[in-house]
Amino acid sequence: MSEIEQSPEILYTPLSEAIQELNRRRRIPDLCRLVESFQSEHPAHFLLDKPTAILARSIHSADHEMVRFESMIRGTELTPHLLEIPGDLFTSVNHDKYRRGKLCFDFETKVRSLRVMDFNCEGKIISTIPDVTGRSLVDYHRALLNDRHPALSMHTQNVSDWFLSAGKISPYYLHFLSLSIKNGIVFENFLPHEPEEMAFFRERVLPSFLEATRIFGVRPLIVRLFSDAEETTDKIWHYPGSLYPLALKLTRRGNLKCNTSRKFPASVKVQTGLISGSMTWQHPKTSIRNTERYGRGVFANKRIKNGEILFVIQGPLLNRLEEMALPAEVIDKPIEISPWLSISPRSIEELEAMPQHFVNHSCQPNAGFGGQMFLVAMRDIGRGEEVTFDYGMCLRSNSETEFRMECLCGAENCRKVVMGGDWQIPELQVRYAGYFQWYLERRILNKSRSISNA
Ligand SMILES: [Zn+2]
C-alpha cells in the first residue's frame, strides 16, 4: 500500500497556502480554460464567480463542523458556498446522515441526545423525510442553521440534480473535485478511523484526486476541518449544548398531535407503524430496501402472520385520463380499485410517501388485497422474506390498459409476462379467490354466478 493510501493527510493543503494558490491559479488563463472546458461536460451552473469555501453535505446544520467551518473562513476573502444534496438517499450507517436524525449535544460534563426523526426511513430520499412533528427534516436543520449561522444559511444551495447526475458520467467525485481547482477550496475531512469512510476514500476520493491532478496539472485544494486527534472522537458530529433549547422546541411545534400521543405509553407509538408525513400505513415489521434485482422492495423484518394487514393503501385518487397523463417515472404505479379509478403517486416525491407502491410483483405472492384499501398477508411471511402480490390481482383487462411487464420473479410457476386482464386466467381466479381487488372480485363472482345460473 502506498503512503498516500495509508493517510488521507497528504491530500490536504493548509488554508493560507490554499488561498494563495487559488488566487494564483485564477490568474492563469490556460488553466481556467481547461477547468471550464472540463466542467462544460457536466455544467456546474451553481458556481459563483469568486473564490469560494465549499462545504458539501446532504443536509447542512449547526453542528460543530459548521462552527469550525465558519471560524476557519472568518476574516478570509472566501465566500462560503454550502452545497446541499437532499436528493441523496438516507442511510443510518453513514455517521453524517445518522447525526441529522439523532442529535448529540455537548454540555460541560455530559452529552444529551435528541431524536428528531423516525428511523424507519432507510433508503428514502432525504428531502421527503419528515421530522418528528411531520414537517421536513431538511427544514428542521435549516431552522438550526438560520439561528446560529444566518450569514452561512444564505449561501446554502440545493445541488442534488448536479451531484446525482454526475454519477452517470463517473467518477462523480472527479467532477466535485474539479470545483476545487480554480473555483474554490473544498473543506472536508476524510476519516481514516471509520471503515466506511476509509473505503469511500480509497475507492472514490483517492482515484479522483489523482485523476484531477493528472488532468489539470495541479492538486485539488482541500482544506482539513478537524485535526487527527479531533477526528478520532465522535464529537465532531455533535452539536453545541447551547443549541439544545431551540432544537428541543422545534420538536414540539404544532404540538396538538404530540400532546395526544404523550398519553400513550411509548411502546404503543412504536407499534402503530404510522410514518409521519406518509399518506399510508405500513406494517411496522416491514421495511423498504434494495432488492438487488429490480430496485426497491418491501421486506418483512420479523415474522408476520397470515391475515395481518401489511399496508393501508391511501393516496391521490386518479381517473383514467389522469392515469394516462402520469409522468414516465410513475406510469406503472397505479393500483386499480375500480374500472375507472386508481390510487397512485403522481410524482417521485409522492411515491416516497406511498410505500405500498414499492411492493413488487411475484407469480407466487405472499400478499393480496382485502377490499380496496388493505394489502394483507395471504400466508405466514418469514423474517427477511420480500412482500409481494400478483399484479394480476388488481390490473384491469388489457382492452382498458396497455400494461405489459416481463416478469423476473423467478417462481417455478412464473408467467414470464404479466399483463392487464390476467385476472381472467381461471387458475389465478381459484388461487387468489378473496384476494383480488374488490371490483375484480365482483366481476369474477358475477361471472361464475351467471355460469351456474345458465
Ligand atoms: Zn413471475
CB atoms within 10 A of CB 86: 21
Q: How far apart are CA 200 and CA 192, in angstroms?
A: 10
Predicted confidence at residue 92, as pLDDT, reads 83
Q: Cell for 170?
A: 463517473
Q: What is the pLDDT of residue 1?
A: 47
- Ligand 1 centroid–CA 304 distance in Å is 23
What is the 338 CA–ligand 1 centroid distance (Å)?
24
Whole-prediction pTM = 0.57
Please choose, from the candidates 60, 17, 15, 25, the residue with its C-alpha nearest in 3D space to the C-alpha of residue 183: 25
Tell me, in angstroms, the distance from the centre of ligand 1 to residue 276's CA.
34
Query: Which structural domains are found in the chain, ordered by start?
Result: 3-246 (no CATH), 278-453 (2.170.270.10)
Q: Which residues lie closer than 8 Å to 90 by C-beta, 6 or more apart?
A: 58, 97, 101, 121, 122, 123, 124, 125, 126, 129
Q: How far is the CA of 445 from the centre of ligand 1 (A)?
A: 25
What is the pLDDT, as a whole number, of residue 7?
Answer: 73
Residue whose C-alpha cell reads 441526545 in the numeric block: 113
> Cα of 399 to ligand 1 centre, how many Å?
22
Alpha-carbon torsion (89, 93, 98, 101), positive or negative: positive
Other Cβ atoms less than 10 A from the Cβ of 260: the count is 9
User: Can you give the pLDDT at residue 253?
Assistant: 61
- Ligand 1 centre from 391 Cα, in Å? 10
Ligand 1 centre distance from Cα of residue 80 (Å): 53
Ligand 1 centroid to Cα of residue 298, in Å, is 17
Report pLDDT for 413: 94
Distance 427 CA to ligand 1 centre (A): 15
Quick one: which of 309, 360, 364, 357 has its CA closest to 336?
Answer: 357
pLDDT confidence of residue 349: 81
CA of 436 to the centre of ligand 1 (A): 17
CA–CA gap between residue 330 and residue 332 (Å, rounded): 5
Return per-residue pLDDT of the chain as tens, 454 residues: 455 556 788 899 999 999 999 999 999 999 999 999 999 988 888 888 899 999 999 999 999 999 999 999 999 999 999 999 998 889 888 888 889 999 999 998 899 999 999 888 888 899 999 988 888 899 999 999 999 998 898 899 999 888 888 766 667 789 999 999 999 999 998 887 777 788 888 888 999 999 999 999 999 999 999 988 888 887 888 999 999 999 998 888 643 333 333 333 333 333 344 444 567 788 989 988 888 777 789 999 999 999 999 999 989 999 888 888 888 888 889 999 998 899 999 988 888 888 899 999 999 999 999 999 999 999 999 999 999 999 999 998 876 667 788 888 889 999 999 999 999 999 999 999 999 999 999 999 887 766 555 4
Q: What is residue 100's predicted lDDT score, i.e. its pLDDT?
A: 94
- Identity of the amino acid at 453: N
Q: For ligand 1, a single-atom ion, which residues have Cβ within 5 Å?
A: 363, 407, 409, 414
Please tell me the distance between residue 410's alpha carbon and the centre of ligand 1 in angstroms. Answer: 6
Query: Does residue 86 have a cis peptide bond before it, meaning omega lies within 30 degrees of 0?
Result: no
Task: Please tell me the distance between residue 426's alpha carbon and the centre of ligand 1 in angstroms.
Answer: 17
Write down the pLDDT at residue 320.
85
3-state SS of the chain? CCHHHHCHHHHECCHHHHHHHHHHHCCCHHHHHHHHHHHCCCCCCCCCCCCEEEEEECCCCCCHHHHHHHHHHCCCCCEEEEEECCCCECCCCCHHHHHHHEEEEECCCCEEEEECECCCCCCCEHHHCEECCCCEHHHHHHHHHHHHCHHHHCCEEECHHHHHHHCCCCCHHHHHHHHHCCCEEEEECCCCCCHHHHHHHHHHHHHHHHHHHHHHCCCCCEEECCCHHHHCCHHHHCEEHHHHHHHHHHCCCCCHHHHHHCCCCHHHHHHHCECCCCCCEECCCEEEEECCCCCEEEEECCCECCCCEEEECCCCEEEHHHHHCCCHHHCCCCEECCCCEEECCCCHHHHHCCHHHHCEECCCCCEEEECCCEEEECCCECCCCEEEECHHHCCCCCCCCCCEEECCCCCCCCCCEEECCHHHCHHHHHHCCCCCCHHHHHHHHHHHHHHHHC
Q: What is the pLDDT of residue 452?
A: 57
d(CA 395, ligand 1 centre) in Å: 15
- CA proximity to 420, closest of 404, 432, 431: 404
How far apart CA 82 and CA 57 sit, in angstroms, is 8
Cα of 375 from ligand 1 centre, angstroms: 19
The residue whose grid cell reads 503512503 is 3
Q: 214 CA to middle of ligand 1, Å?
A: 49
By the 10 Å C-beta count (0-12 exposed, 13-18 middle, 19+ buried), 60 is classed as: buried
Do the beta carbons of residue 201 and residue 9 sit within 8 Å?
no
361 Cα: distance to centroid of ligand 1 (angstroms):
7
Distance 303 CA to ligand 1 centre (A): 24
Cα of 360 from ligand 1 centre, angstroms: 11
Distance 416 CA to ligand 1 centre (A): 5
390 CA → ligand 1 middle, Å: 9
Angle (CA) 63 65 68, round 5°? 115
CA 307 / ligand 1 centre spacing (Å): 23
